[in-house]
Amino acid sequence: MTDFNRGDAKQLLEVRNITKMYGDLAANKDVSLAISQGEIHALLGENGAGKSTLVKVIYGSLQPTSGEVFWQGEKLTIANPAAARQLGIGMVFQHFSLFDALTVAENIALALPGKLDLPKLSEKIARVSVEYGLPLVPTALVADLSVGERQRIEIVRCLLQEPKLLIMDEPTAVLTPQEADQLFETLHRLSNEGCAVLYISHRLDEIQRLCHNATILRHGKVVATCDPQEETAASLARLMVGADVHEIKTRSAPQTGKAILSVKDLAMKPDGPFSVALKNINLNVRGGEIVAIAGVAGNGQGELFDVLSGEKLATNNDDILISGIGVGRKNINVRRQMSAAFVPEERLGHGAVPEFSLSDNVVLTRFATSGRIISSGMINAKASQNILLNIVEEFDVRKSGPDPEARSLSGGNLQKFVVGRELDRSPSLLIVNQPTWGVDAGAAALIRQALIDLAADGSGVLVISQDLDEIFEIADQIAVISRGQLSKTVPAGDLTLEEIGLMMAGSHENNAHQNNNDANHASEATP
């Protein structure tokens, strides 16, 4: 296809004075923006600023209380997502809309019109996903895939519909830098072909690198429009929050104590054909330090978290020690009673039950460790609500009511709640998987500072993260996981991004394999 000349671009979408009310709360208030063909337009704002509400209006998932939507100059009502897709509007959601029991191809087929030939569709998925640098196995069950791989499905499913306007909500939150680079190339190619992109991200360096224009929301209102390439990350963050973002206070020389968590030769067989086996994992996390595990999505991070948290049991009790006591065969509540806390990767559905209120979600992880919440077999609602109030105040959790359902919170506010619920206990050991996935700069700074402060108070913190900037910002020690193998931990100051990239590609696996071969050869040579 011939490259599109943006100088000849026509206006594709315009929204005028969009207002969306929830009772007395205005999620959007008189919001207006316009997007032209081939334009990559950023939509910025803190969690709860109204970004998701606005894009759901554009996509037909919500109807505005007032305001107008114009598509290619024609005023219309987008009744539902199917109508949006017929117009040529596609959307990649922050929270996945996939069926775990179906394959990749079956999930994608559900979103495509007409009767489909599944084998032919599978061939197309495999080809297109490789072309876009987001490889997928069409026959893989979604239940066996990592979060990063599930995000690939959402992106590829949308691209197969050949949209005129592509809405992307935090698309790189679970992608590696290399995958993100490939996605940016794809988006530039789509832009050059005339496809418009409405791009939501909290990674301001991405916005500056990728977007032609930006609209900034604060408390549901448009507060600024700008060319992000003429701004700095600091100035964009200031526009988003209305003030300077908190600067993280790091520790120059952490004081470490005894090992809080010890993992010794941990090995786990894969649960299914698409899960990852863990191979001889060795790891120590001492009191007073933050150890970070980096890695490409789908290399065993989820499996490692599950066995460390007790959601899955290890082969032997002494495979995992907490404060010197074997817990490999103990469940998650026993580990919580030993002052361990856990924050999973998937906040909605795993970290919190969507249909439960926030106070009920407090009960789910605190009943085993707080005598205040359960008394004589009865739930003390006031106690759980008091804990909720503490979390909301300490972590600035923004919500629509006193005790709403978890699913009503924006992604970043739910993440602050889930992290805050565990930190409120002041645990001796915290294991957190993707602590700031999909949250804005202000919320990310708050969570990272809380992790640093917890370690400074003497707790051990294990962070599993794909965000290398985050890892270098907070970690004292770094290890890399690749295909279920964990490298040795190395002081953060002794590693470069390039070295971590090589380790993520499996260089430490090759070294381990070579060392084993050398040992075998030496053994054979010994008389």
- Say whether pLDDT at 523 is over 80: no
Residue 268, domain member (yes or no) = yes
Closest CA to 451 of 466, 479, 437, 470: 470
Find which of 60-64, 145-149, 205-209 is predicted with most confidence, using mean pLDDT.
60-64
The strand pair at 66-71 and 11-22 is best described as antiparallel
448 and 415 both lie in a single domain: no
**pLDDT bracket for residue 174 (50, 70, 90):** low
Q: What local confidence, expressed as pLDDT, does residue 182 receive?
A: 79
389 and 453 both lie in a single domain: no
For residues 245 and 445, the answer to whether their CB atoms sit within 8 Å is yes
**pLDDT bracket for residue 181 (50, 70, 90):** confident
How far lies 427's CA from each of 369, 421, 430, 432, 458, in Å? 11, 11, 6, 12, 10
User: For residues 147 and 173, what is the distance between their CA atoms, to the nearest angstrom?
Assistant: 10
Sheet holding 259-268, edge to edge: 278-286, 259-268, 320-322, 325-326
Residue 234, domain member (yes or no) = no
432 and 334 both lie in a single domain: yes
Average of per-residue pLDDT across 192-197: 93
263 and 404 both lie in a single domain: no
Grouping H, G, I as helix, E, B as strand and the rest as coil, residue 310 is: coil
Residue that is last in its domain, among 426, 444, 470: 426
440 and 525 both lie in a single domain: yes
Q: Between 294 and 273, where is the model more confident? A: 294
For residues 421 and 370, the answer to whether their CB atoms sit within 8 Å is no
448 and 312 both lie in a single domain: yes
Q: What local confidence, expressed as pLDDT, does residue 102 receive?
A: 94
Q: Between 374 and 486, where is the model more confident? A: 486
- Say whether pLDDT at 348 is over 70: yes
Find which of 45-49, 220-224, 232-236, 517-521 is predicted with most confidence, using mean pLDDT.
220-224
466 and 525 both lie in a single domain: yes
Question: What percent of the chain has pLDDT above 90?
Answer: 61
Q: What local confidence, expressed as pLDDT, does residue 244 receive?
A: 64
Q: What is the DSSP string of 109-143?
A: HHTS-S---HHHHHHHHHHHHHHTT----TTSBGG
Residue 398, domain member (yes or no) = yes
**pLDDT bracket for residue 119 (50, 70, 90):** very high
For residues 41 and 215, the answer to whether their CB atoms sit within 8 Å is yes
CA atoms within 13 Å, Cβ hemisphere of 301 = 30
CB atoms near residue 423 (< 10 Å): 22
DSSP state of 427: -
Q: Is the dihedral of CA 311, 312, 316, 322 positive or negative?
A: negative
Residue whose entry in the numeric block shows the structure tokens 């205040």: 372
Question: Which tens digit of pLDDT belongs to each residue from 65-116?
Answer: 999 999 999 999 999 999 999 999 999 877 678 998 899 999 999 988 888 8
291 and 370 both lie in a single domain: no
User: For residues 228 and 231, what is the distance between their CA atoms, to the nearest angstrom?
Assistant: 5
Residue 109, domain member (yes or no) = no
Average of per-residue pLDDT across 27-53: 93
User: For residues 362 and 365, what is the distance between their CA atoms, to the nearest angstrom?
Assistant: 6
Number of helical (H) and strand (E) elements in the chain, helices listed first: 17, 23
CA atoms within 13 Å, Cβ hemisphere of 274 = 17
For the chain, the residue count is 527
Residue 467, domain member (yes or no) = yes
357 and 406 both lie in a single domain: yes
Average of per-residue pLDDT across 399-412: 89
Residue 277, domain member (yes or no) = yes
Closest CA to 161 of 210, 114, 101, 98: 114
Sheet holding 74-76, edge to edge: 25-36, 11-22, 66-71, 74-76
Q: What is the DSSP string of 348-386?
A: BTTTB-TTSBHHHHHHHHHTTT-TTTEETTEE-HHHHHH
Q: Is 484 left (phi over 0), alpha (psi -120 to 50) or beta?
A: left
Residue that is last in its domain, among 426, 441, 468: 426
Look over the chain and give the mean of its residue pLDDT values, rounded to a whole number: 88
The boundaries of the domain holding residue 376 are 348-426
Q: What is the 3-state secondary structure (H, E, C) of 247-291?
A: CCCCCCCCCCCCEEEEEEEEEECCCCCCCCCEEEEEEEEECCCEE
Q: With the CA atoms of 348, 352, 356 and 357 taken in that order, what torsion angle do they form, in degrees rounded to the nearest 10?
A: -110
Tokens of 189: 């190619």
Closest CA to 37 of 2, 9, 78: 9
Which of 53-67, 158-172, 300-314 is predicted with the least confidence, judged by mean pLDDT? 158-172
Residue that is last in its domain, among 426, 461, 487: 426
Helix axes 411-423, 381-395, angle to 10 degrees: 110
Q: What local confidence, expressed as pLDDT, does residue 284 receive?
A: 97
End-to-end Cα, the chain, rounded Å: 69
- CATH code of the domain containing 300: 3.40.50.300
CB atoms near residue 141 (< 10 Å): 19
Question: Which tens digit of pLDDT belongs to each residue from 250-269?
Answer: 776 677 889 999 999 999 99
**pLDDT bracket for residue 318 (50, 70, 90):** very high
415 and 439 both lie in a single domain: no
- What is the pTM (predicted TM-score) of this model? 0.69
- Say whether pLDDT at 331 is over 60: yes
Residue 391, domain member (yes or no) = yes
Residue 83, domain member (yes or no) = no
User: For residues 17 and 205, what is the distance between their CA atoms, to the nearest angstrom?
Assistant: 29
525 and 446 both lie in a single domain: yes
Q: What local confidence, expressed as pLDDT, does residue 507 receive?
A: 67
367: CB partners within 8 A, 6+ apart: 373, 374, 379
The number of distinct structural domains making up the chain is: 2
Q: What local confidence, expressed as pLDDT, does residue 158 receive?
A: 87
Q: What local confidence, expressed as pLDDT, does residue 308 receive?
A: 98
Tokens of 117: 């030939």
303 and 444 both lie in a single domain: yes
